[in-house]
Amino acid sequence: MKASLRSLAVLLGLAALLTGCERPPMESVQRGYRGNGMEQVANPRLVAMQIPKHQAPDPLPPASSEGPKASQIYQNVQVLGNLSAGEFVRTMTAITNWVAPEQGCVYCHNPANFADDSMYTKVVARRMLQMTQRVNADWKPHVGATGVTCYTCHRGQPVPAEIWSAQAPKGRPDAMLGNRFGQNEPSLKVGYSSLPVDPFSTYLLGGEQGSNEIRVASKAALPDGSNPMGTKDAEHTYGLMMHFSGALGVNCTYCHNTRAMGEWANNPPTRNTAWYGIRMLRDLNTTYLDPLQPVYPAERLGVLGDAPKANCATCHQGAYKPLYGVSMLAEHPELAAPSGSTTKVASAAKEKSKK
Ligand code: HEC
Ligand code: HEC
Ligand code: HEC
Ligand code: HEC
């Protein structure tokens, strides 16, 4: 009797353990030279389940560009003033479908006066229009001609599924023992690893100058004092890398040859694209999203009172390219309008060429 109880307990234990595993068969694709382990491993059953999530909606029929401009007809149009009245209403209809399909126009508008800016959502949406134009005009090294629209991040919801804000330190930050530096707090954002849960404040905020250095590997074989980076820095880097993998649904070898993680020449070109993605997010979070803090109501802010921000998952949502690389931008040239500044990208590229 005792023995059978024990074997039941063992069986239950095993069952509990295995529910954490993915059911086979798995598939793997070799992406690098033979023998260097550069493979992508995926579970086709789980990939198939994800497909519906990454479909772009059908475009609206085009509108005529004839007639007076929106800036002439309406009172308070600051970004989209060059569109014809027809194109303007088409854009309003599209952003309603992309961001607030259930709530409709009144999610951003006071129905008594559409020119009124009293709703925070409208003020945020205007900044979002500028941010989207910025991405499409100035961050082509990352988003290419594919570009982004509101749908890339919003997918039919006012609050995108993947956002982040600064995390309150757990444990006792004042004590010598007990400050966990955000570690051992399992979070999906870092693949449920024990790595720091908020690598984003460290690496995706503060602009190019204000952000911390991600590279941690030493250039010399033996410690010679030339590498200022410590174990804590490496743990933060790995936390960020776990996020990259999860956000794109790929293994580390999608961007790295693990023989030399830090060497550009030996790593796939996807790592270059990712490098620009990091710089793009520093720009978006620092220039557009974080400064919206005073505009949001308290319930939208993070635990430390900062504005909600974007990371790789905000656009990618588990796919190697958002919407598997389908471009919705071609149907919405108004969101591709040049924002007028390419200096940021150029200086970022210059910095990279130094390394
Ligand atoms: C996600 C937020 C959002 C939604 C939803 C939205 N709008 Fe707008 N709307 C804006 C923003 C932002 C502006 C200002 C654009 C600018 O400054 O270029 C604007 C401006 C307007 C204006 C110009 C008003 C004026 O006199 O200045 C009209 C008209 C308008 N929207 C109609 C609509 C209609 C109709 C719908 C529903 C089909 C709609 N909007 C849905 C954000 C939104
Ligand atoms: C790079 C990703 C990204 C893109 C592209 C984007 N947004 Fe956002 N949006 C965000 C994030 C992050 C937030 C903050 C979420 C929150 O409000 O909690 C946000 C918030 C908003 C909100 C406030 C919602 C609320 O209830 O608090 C509106 C409205 C909005 N976006 C409209 C737009 C429109 C319109 C576009 C396209 C012109 C757009 N967004 C494009 C990431 C994006
Ligand atoms: C989507 C592409 C991408 C994925 C996936 C990715 N990385 Fe990275 N990784 C990068 C980029 C880009 C850098 C360099 C960042 C910089 O220079 O600012 C980097 C840097 C690193 C570094 C620092 C290298 C150095 O020179 O010190 C390590 C270590 C690293 N990654 C490990 C990993 C691990 C482990 C994984 C899987 C959990 C992973 N990466 C997944 C793009 C990626
Ligand atoms: C504003 C939305 C957005 C954000 C945020 C974003 N990406 Fe992307 N990413 C894209 C788009 C769009 C493409 C497709 C570009 C194309 O088709 O050429 C892309 C492509 C890529 C690719 C190339 C994939 C391939 O197979 O060629 C990599 C790698 C990548 N992103 C990594 C990242 C990483 C890492 C981050 C976070 C640091 C990030 N992205 C953040 C929109 C975004």
Residue 177: predicted pLDDT = 62
- Would you say 265 and 127 are in contact if contact means Cβ atoms under 8 Å apart? no
How big is the chain, counted in residues?
A: 355
pLDDT at position 33, please?
79
Q: Residue 212: pLDDT above 90?
A: no
Q: Is the CB of 80 under 6 A from ligand 2?
A: no
Average pLDDT over residues 110-126: 97
Using alpha carbons, select from 11, 253, 55 the residue that is nearest to residue 151.
55
155-204 per-position pLDDT tens digit: 999 999 999 999 876 666 566 666 666 777 777 777 777 788 888 998 99
Is ligand 2 within 6 A of the CB of residue 160? yes
- Please enumerate in sequence order all residues whose Cβ is within 8 A of that of 20, keeping only pairs 6 or more positions apart, or say none: none
Q: What is the pLDDT of residue 97?
A: 98
Q: Which atom of ligand 1 is nearest to the CA of 74?
A: 26
Alpha carbon distance 208, 279 (integer Å) = 7
Nearest CA to ligand 3 atom 29: 261
- Look at ligand 4, atom 5, and give the residue with the nearest C-alpha: 312
How confident is residue 354, by pLDDT bands cut at 50, 70 and 90? very low
Lowest-confidence pick of 77-86, 129-138, 184-193, 254-263:
184-193
Distance 88 CA to ligand 1 centre (A): 8
- pLDDT score at 13: 62
Residue 59 has pLDDT above 90, yes or no: yes
Nearest ligand 4 atom to alpha carbon 153: 2
Distance from Cα 241 to the centre of ligand 3, integer Å: 6
Tell me, what's the pLDDT at 341? 47
CA-nearest residue, atom 23 of ligand 4: 270
Going by C-alpha positions, the residue among 104, 101, 108 that lies closest to residue 122 is 108
Which residue would you say has higher pLDDT here, 170 or 66?
66
- The CA distance from 349 to 273, in Å, is 12
The ligand with the least distance to the CA atom of 267 is 3
Q: What is the model's pLDDT at position 173?
A: 58
Query: Which ligand is closest in space to the CA of residue 132?
Result: 2
Give the pLDDT confidence score for residue 343 in this predicted structure: 47
